[in-house]
Amino acid sequence: METTLKTKKEITEEADVFMGSPVKTERGIDSSEPIPEALSIKIEKGNDGNDNQSEASINPVDKITSLKTLGPFIASKDNTRNTRYLSDVPEICLRESCMLGVDEAGRGPVLGPMVYGIAYCPLNSKETLTDLGCADSKELTEEKREVIFDNINTQHYANSCIGWAVEIISPNVISNNMLGRKKCSLNEISMNAAIDLIRAALEAGVNIAEVYVDTVGPPEKYQEKLQKIFPQLQITVAKKADSTFPIVSAASICAKVTRDHSLKVWKFPEGLKLTSKDFGSGYPGDPITRKFLSENVNYIFGFPRIVRFSWSTAQNALSETACVVEFDEPDSEKPKYAGPKLTTFFQSTTKTGEVQREQCRLLKERFLDSVVDF
């Protein structure tokens, strides 16, 4: 049997690849990295029909201006950290009162990022949303969503009055926050992302008057929370808001298209040569995703960082295949004896004036008494 010996440096490098470093912020989720200049990436079809990314970097891209530039922009980012992108604010949105919609994509999958999106336009521009065909992104085909997204960015009748933004929440950040010592639930991560995007739009100068949000949890509590943070805005939180309010539908489309392309251009820092066709949609019920999870488990370090370790699907797969590790937790039990409390020496006197104190443990264990009379 052939044996391969690894140097200490090689082992360290392997560990660094598989172990994601925790990312913390005040809110519990990773702060968005600044948006550096991105590079466009040429996509070629290989002999196997899969989309393969060449290493060639051609045209510098510092913002998303169409569907074509979305993938290259995302591919230039560190996918172990969160990324936020805000489109240019239409001039009309600085002057006229606007409505803003909030929705997410990728909340349920075990693989890939969760993306929160917002879209905004003047209150009197509802007809533009209708002309674009904005509807619940889940009810539209992938091709139709991409056409609408491209039109929002390239057609003058749309980009002159509609702005948008997305927060790409890395699966690595989701895992670190949900499994950290200080737990941060997925609902909390979601709400913080929505709050940060609304705040970012306000800071960019968007004249927001009304906000419509697809709910996370009970809509009444969520709406009350947002209203306290943004008392100057008229906020509506509702179930299935993406199928009720066109502006939320637009946000939903931006979020969904961004997530889809995040998976298409995903780079594995672990060195895996796989495309999105090899790991599927990312949903636990997808047989391709299940196959990916079963075939890509490292015995020591677990899954690649595209996997949300906090999902039960991933945890079950790890329990069957990976090494069992036990961590020593600090003993929470009180010691059997920690000595007399200081307050025992200051007990109040009895009615007769005597001070009743418990006998010293040293004397008690040896059955000795204090002798005061000789």
Q: Is 88 annotated as a binding residue?
A: no
Q: Is 328 annotated as a binding residue?
A: no
Q: Which two tokens stand for residue 283?
A: 């949903």
Q: 268 CB contacts (<8 Å, ≥6 apart)?
A: 274, 304, 306
How far apart, in whole angstroms, are the C-alpha atoms of residue 60 and residue 71?
13
How far apart, in whole angstroms, are the C-alpha atoms of residue 213 and residue 368?
75
Q: What is the DSSP letter of 307?
A: B
Q: Is 214 annotated as a binding residue?
A: yes
Q: Which two tokens stand for residue 122?
A: 């003047």
Of 254, 256, 245, which Cα lies nearest the Cα of 126?
245
Cβ atoms of 75 and 275 within 8 Å: the answer is no
How far apart, in whole angstroms, are the C-alpha atoms of residue 213 and residue 251?
10
Backbone angles phi, psi at 207, to 5 degrees: -85, 75
Of 9, 178, 201, which Cα lies nearest the Cα of 101?
201
Of 231, 213, 209, which Cα lies nearest the Cα of 222?
213
DSSP-derived 3-state class of residue 163? strand
Instruction: State the binding site for a divalent metal cation.
Output: 103-104, 214
Instruction: State the binding site.
Output: 103-104, 214
